[in-house]
Structure 1
Amino acid sequence: MAKKILLNAFDMSCVGHINHGLWTHPRDESITFNGLKYWLNLAKILEKGLFDGIFLADITGVYDVYQNNLDVTLKESVQLPSHDPMTLISAMASVTTHLGFGVTVNLSYEHPYPLARRFASLDHLTQGRVGWNIVTGYLDSAEKLFGRKALAEHDQRYDKAEDFLALCYKYWEHSWENGAVIQDKKSRIFTDPKKVHAIDHQGSFFESQGVFQVSPSPQRTPLLFQAGTSERGVTFATRHAECIFIGGGNIAEVRKNVQRIRKKAFEHGREPESIKIFVGITVVTAESDVQAQQKLIEYRQYASPEAGIAHYSSSVGKDLSVYDEHERIPYEKSNSITSVNEKFKHQEITLNSLKEQHVLGGRYPLFVGSGKNVAQQLIHFFDETGIDGFNLTRTVTPESYEDFIRWVIPEWQQQDRYKKTYISGTLRHKFFEKGQFLNIQHPARAV
């Protein structure tokens, strides 16, 4: 039986997320993102469409590299303003039953204890539907907000992340035994003291002693996401992550990246298929191919390729505005997103080619066509690359999600490549169908 496709909506608590400029489209509702009504409506739409989850991106800092200022970022609302995504989850969980919530939190600006406590609390409140996308940051502007001069070196940020997670695992997995909470009113014992233990952590970056305040949540540890694709990032991700988000590209490039991840996971003593791999995509679809192309033309009238370049400049840590339209942009080592910056080493990239790539203001692979056509394109991409699912980014919201639900998902279901109903259980169980807790091979189980 062919493998079924996993699907997350990819979004952010802001106006301009990936496909920039489309907030100006008359049917786009993202300018109301600062009200709960917008998010509650979106959560209900996604659950009705049987999405596995909503993956909420986030950044700490601002995109101020392009033209060495914030002008384009502010005018086009390039992830500015943006809100803390964790504040949305309880509300969206209250109007849904199955939808999962993957939320990005940058551990470079957190302490393990309060963050572990927030995630455990959310896991309780959502009945086990929460996941953590672990990031270490890449913006100098974030460091300045915290009174620091510049980012720590790339690999050092991952060293700190290793210690951060080791401590979180102790809180989530080892402070409270299973069955510690009794809730016996007659004997007046809520928790068995013999089954609760103080942890003692003396790490390279963090120290902590004491009992974790939150009793074991449905998943104990939230479902773990990561998106590192540098050599150090892949090493970290394949040690810890249960789901990895990778960049798109052609089928051969993505397949090579998938194979690299699975090989590295095996080297860490994990089953290669114990990691679900997702690719970010943009889709424009309608009833027919002609209508989809017309919709793309319409969307392009509102998109801002320049805003996409402003975003991209901060991703690679270099001001791309200083280059002529057709001048090859040279590779320069930076402390930003290594996997994105490395492309300048091997590809002839110009400002003009980047603008062509950012026709909808974003750089994710674009699939256009009727529901049947797009469904087949995505199935082919899925089967040929060996990925496990897609993170579908928005264009015009919520229209783009509604279009996908109306036109693409039924085509997948007809070919038995997508579920027709949710299974019960936690987010981890829905993804892996192997129970609510971390796989026994995961390093957290042995801390």
Structure 2
Amino acid sequence: MTRKIRFNAFDMNCVGHIQQGLWAHPRDRSHEFQQIAYWTDYARRLEAGLFDGIFLADVIGIYDVLGGSYAPAVRGAVQVPVNDPMMIVPAMAAVTQHLGFGVTANLTYEQPFLFARRMATLDHLTGGRIGWNIVTGYLDSAARAIGLAGQTAHDDRYDLADEYMEVLYKLLEGSWEDDAVVFDRDNHLYADPAKVHRIRHQGRQYNLDTVHLSAPSPQRTPVLYQAGSSPRGRAFAATHAECVFVNGQKKDGVREIVTDIRDRAMAKGRHMDDIKVFLGQTIVTGRTDQEARDKFEDYRRYVSTEAALVHAAASMGIDLARFDLDEPVETGKSQAITSNIKAMDRAAGPQWTKRKLIEQMVLGSRQPPLVAGVDTVVDTLVDWCETTGVDGFNLSRTVVPECFDDIIELVIPRLQERGLYKTAYDEGPLRQKLFGTPRLPARHIADTFRARAEAIG
């Protein structure tokens, strides 16, 4: 293996993210999430450890599927309270130079005109280090919060997303030319109107006649992340995504997803290396296997099974409270994360029970932890990359900050010894670091919408 492995810290602007209940561990600091100092310290640690970025999840809505109540989510801090992920990015950017920031935003509830300005602003403020995790949502509670009766159908949300991306490309790529800003003090000419273009769009969901409000940022369009593994999600990723997040799969399942998305992308004229895949991974490690196992046993004493079921029920769109422990769970047709249901089917068979689900959630989530000494961890990560074609890992937190300190102090140096991890950051924006170019390439669909409208005047 010659490719360098990449790491993102996977977190959320909340107390309880993926491993439910571990916030109760006495060494965990996630309860400080509402303090700027918590996030700036976090960012400094990650950059000192040469992490590629921090990937910030988000949800709009509350987990109220289990038992039809939000009380268990509130009781167990299951991604609630949760604050806006974008607000903490400038603070982290101010104390770092290279760390990337992937932020999740639900396009179903974001107007593209305002969202384009927000992304451009963050790209300017971070010096080109912003990425966007494109999601269409999976919670009916989010739809109700916005004033809708419920979500639209799963695949229909991707149809909306395709149009949303077209509008976004027009705004970010097609409105301002690169040399529109002149900044000529002598002639009082800040920007050349002939190089600022009006964007007109009439579609099924959106109708715009406007000019993008922000001048071109270092990347123009943020690095595009996406996490859909359903057939419709893969088609969307092949068209738009640059980084794909996969989770909850065995190696053959991950390999099939990675191969399928890249094949679809190449069929659209893109290159295989245009898409980097990050696998969700939870690591509990130490200098020896025994040290790792001891740490794991310490952690698992704080796991909340109820909170884990709250999260699982919402992500699958199934009220698990309706089923006894050994009663087969009827999945039906879900409008939530359908790939999560299929992953469970593969892991435990199509007639899986709540007991089998709970048995999988040993650290409070369906993501099985890698519990091993550093040498075994490194060998396992390398094998994942070689076997499945993934490029790196989104490492979800357990007990912070020590879980990432362990990666920085133990795992990364061992990878560096084997030539499998960078020893310094490359220069340039996030996309430059990942793909060697600061802007989307001409073979990306965004190129269709670059600066091809009439000039204002």
For normalisation by structure 2, the TM-score amounts to: 0.96
- Is it true that 1:350 corresponds to 2:357 in the alignment? no
Q: State the 1:184 CA deviation.
A: 1.8
In 1, are the aligned partners of 2:224 and 2:243 still within 8 Å (CA)? yes
In 1, are the aligned partners of 2:134 and 2:224 still within 8 Å (CA)? yes
In 1, are the aligned partners of 2:361 and 2:368 still within 8 Å (CA)? no
- Tell me the distance in 1 between the aligned counterparts of 2:225 and 2:345: 28
Give the letter aligned to residue 30 of structure 2.
S
- Is it true that 1:291 corresponds to 2:294 in the alignment? no
- Tell me the distance in 1 between the aligned counterparts of 2:344 and 2:278: 24
Q: State the 1:187 CA deviation.
A: 2.6
Q: State the 1:344 CA deviation.
A: 5.8
Gaps spanning 5+ residues in structure 2: where? Answer: 450-457
- Tell me the distance in 2 between the aligned counterparts of 1:240 and 1:193: 30
In 2, are the aligned partners of 1:304 and 1:359 still within 8 Å (CA)? no
Aligned equivalent of 1:427, options 402, 410, 430: 430
- Tell me the distance in 2 between the aligned counterparts of 1:63 and 1:209: 37
Give the letter aligned to residue 358 of structure 2.
K
1:7–1:344 CA distance, 2 compared to 1 (3 A): closer
Give the letter aligned to residue 410 of structure 2.
W
- Tell me the distance in 1 between the aligned counterparts of 2:362 and 2:420: 30
What SS does the corresponding residue of 1:318 show, helix, strand or coil?
Answer: coil
Q: State the 1:343 CA deviation.
A: 4.2
Give the letter aligned to residue 439 of structure 2.
F
In 2, are the aligned partners of 1:372 and 1:407 still within 8 Å (CA)? no
Q: Deviations over 1:106-132 (max 9, x none)?
A: 011110000000000110000000000
Give the letter aligned to residue 405 of structure 1.
I
Q: Partner of 1:412 in structure 2?
A: 415
- Tell me the distance in 1 between the aligned counterparts of 2:301 and 2:368: 19
1:178-189 to structure 2, matched below 5 A, reads 178-189=178-189
Q: Partner of 1:366 in structure 2?
A: 369
Q: State the 1:321 CA deviation.
A: 1.9
- Tell me the distance in 2 between the aligned counterparts of 1:213 and 1:70: 39
- Is it true that 1:445 corresponds to 2:447 in the alignment? yes
Q: Partner of 1:195 in structure 2?
A: 195
Gaps spanning 5+ residues in structure 1: where? Answer: none
- Tell me the distance in 2 between the aligned counterparts of 1:194 and 1:138: 43
Q: Partner of 2:221 in structure 1?
A: 221
% same residue: 48
- Is it true that 1:390 corresponds to 2:390 in the alignment? no
- Tell me the distance in 1 between the aligned counterparts of 2:248 and 2:417: 26
1:257–1:424 CA distance, 2 compared to 1 (3 A): same
Q: State the 1:243 CA deviation.
A: 0.6
What SS does the corresponding residue of 1:306 show, helix, strand or coil?
Answer: helix
In 1, are the aligned partners of 2:300 and 2:363 still within 8 Å (CA)? yes
What SS does the corresponding residue of 2:10 show, helix, strand or coil?
Answer: strand
Give the letter aligned to residue 443 of structure 1.
I
Q: State the 1:61 CA deviation.
A: 0.4
Q: Partner of 2:341 in structure 1?
A: 341
Give the letter aligned to residue 341 of structure 2.
N
What SS does the corresponding residue of 2:19 show, helix, strand or coil?
Answer: coil
Q: State the 1:65 CA deviation.
A: 0.6
Q: State the 1:249 CA deviation.
A: 2.2
- Is it true that 1:77 corresponds to 2:80 in the alignment? no
- Tell me the distance in 2 between the aligned counterparts of 1:75 and 1:61: 16
Stretch deviating more after TM superposition (343-352 or 386-395) = 343-352
What SS does the corresponding residue of 2:407 show, helix, strand or coil?
Answer: helix
Matched length: 446
- Tell me the distance in 1 between the aligned counterparts of 2:147 and 2:200: 30
Stretch deviating more after TM superposition (409-418 or 303-312) = 303-312
Q: State the 1:52 CA deviation.
A: 0.3
In 1, are the aligned partners of 2:56 and 2:85 still within 8 Å (CA)? yes
Give the letter aligned to residue 107 of structure 2.
L
In 2, are the aligned partners of 1:331 and 1:344 still within 8 Å (CA)? no
What SS does the corresponding residue of 1:342 show, helix, strand or coil?
Answer: helix
Q: Partner of 2:43 in structure 1?
A: 43
In 2, are the aligned partners of 1:249 and 1:365 still within 8 Å (CA)? no
Q: Partner of 2:331 in structure 1?
A: 331
Give the letter aligned to residue 440 of structure 1.
A
For normalisation by structure 1, the TM-score amounts to: 0.98
Q: Partner of 1:436 in structure 2?
A: 438
Q: Partner of 1:169 in structure 2?
A: 169
Q: State the 1:334 CA deviation.
A: 1.3
1:47-66 to structure 2, matched below 5 A, reads 47-66=47-66
Stretch deviating more after TM superposition (244-253 or 229-238) = 244-253
Q: Partner of 2:309 in structure 1?
A: 309
Give the letter aligned to residue 112 of structure 2.
P
What SS does the corresponding residue of 1:245 show, helix, strand or coil?
Answer: strand
- Tell me the distance in 1 between the aligned counterparts of 2:43 and 2:214: 27
What SS does the corresponding residue of 1:258 show, helix, strand or coil?
Answer: helix
Q: State the 1:345 CA deviation.
A: 5.4
Q: State the 1:234 CA deviation.
A: 0.9
Q: Partner of 1:259 in structure 2?
A: 259
- Is it true that 1:142 corresponds to 2:145 in the alignment? no
What SS does the corresponding residue of 2:138 show, helix, strand or coil?
Answer: coil
- Tell me the distance in 1 between the aligned counterparts of 2:212 and 2:202: 16
Q: Deviations over 1:130-164 (max 9, x none)?
A: 00001001101011111111101111111111111
